Amino acid sequence: GLFSVAVQLADGIAQLPATIGLLIFPLMVRTATGHRRAAMWRAFWGLGGAMFLLLVIGGIASYWLIPLLFGQSFAGSYPLTIALFPQLLLLSFMTVISQYLAAEGYPWTQVFAWIVGFIVQTVLSYWLASKWGGFGVAMALTISSAVVLGILLLEVFRKRRSAATMAGNEQAMAPDVSSR
C-alpha cells in the first residue's frame, strides 16, 4: 500500500523527462552533427536542473499532499517517495543522453546499457527488497539507473574520442599545401 502510493507519485513526476525526451529526439536529429553534442549538454543540464528543482518542490509538497490526497494512513509513503527521487533525477539525464545517442545512430552499447540495467535492477530488487522492502527497491532503482547512465556516458565520451581521432587522422592524411 505505502509503496504503491510512492510509485504512483514517482511515475507522475517521471512523465516530465519522458515527455521532454519525445521532444528532444526530433531536435537532435535536426541539429547539425557538429552542434548536436552542445545541444545535448544544454538539454542535459537544463532538464537536470529543472528536474532537481521539481524534486525539491515535490519533496516539500508531498509531505502535506500525501496525507491530503490518500489519507493519513498513507503518510508513511512520504519517505518511500523521497527514496525514489534520486532515480528520477538520473532518469532525466538518461533520457537526454539516450535521445542524443539515438540521433547519432543508436549504437549497440545503448541497448547493452539497458540490458545491464535490467539485470542489475532485477538482482538488486530481489536481494534488497527482502532486506529493506520498498526502500530496497528504491535503492535498486537508483543503483541500476546509475549503472545505465554510466554506460551511456561512457558511450558519449567514447564517441567523442573516436571523432577526435578521426579528425586528427584526416588532418595527418591531408596534403600540405602551405609549402607550395
Q: Residue 152: CB partners within 8 Å, gap ≥ 6?
A: 94, 97, 98, 101, 109, 110, 113
Distance CA 171, CA 169 (A): 5
Q: Residue 113 phi/psi, 5° resolution? A: -60, -45
**pTM, entire model:** 0.81
Helices within the chain (DSSP H only): 2-30, 33-70, 77-103, 108-132, 134-173
Cell of 8: 504512483
With a pLDDT cut of 70, the percent of the chain lying above it is 88
**Which of helix, strand or coil describes residue 174?**
coil
CA-closest candidate to residue 40, choices 24, 56, 61 = 24
Letter string b/e over residues 117-130, b meaning 16 or more CB atoms within 10 A of that residue's CB? beebbeebbeebbe
pLDDT at 162: 64
Per-residue pLDDT of 95-133, as tens digits, reads 999 999 999 888 899 999 999 999 999 999 999 999 999
Q: How confident is the model at residue 164 (pLDDT cuts 50, 70, 90)?
A: low
Cell of 153: 556516458
Per-residue pLDDT of 13-70, as tens digits, reads 999 989 998 898 888 989 888 899 999 999 999 999 999 999 999 999 999 999 998 8
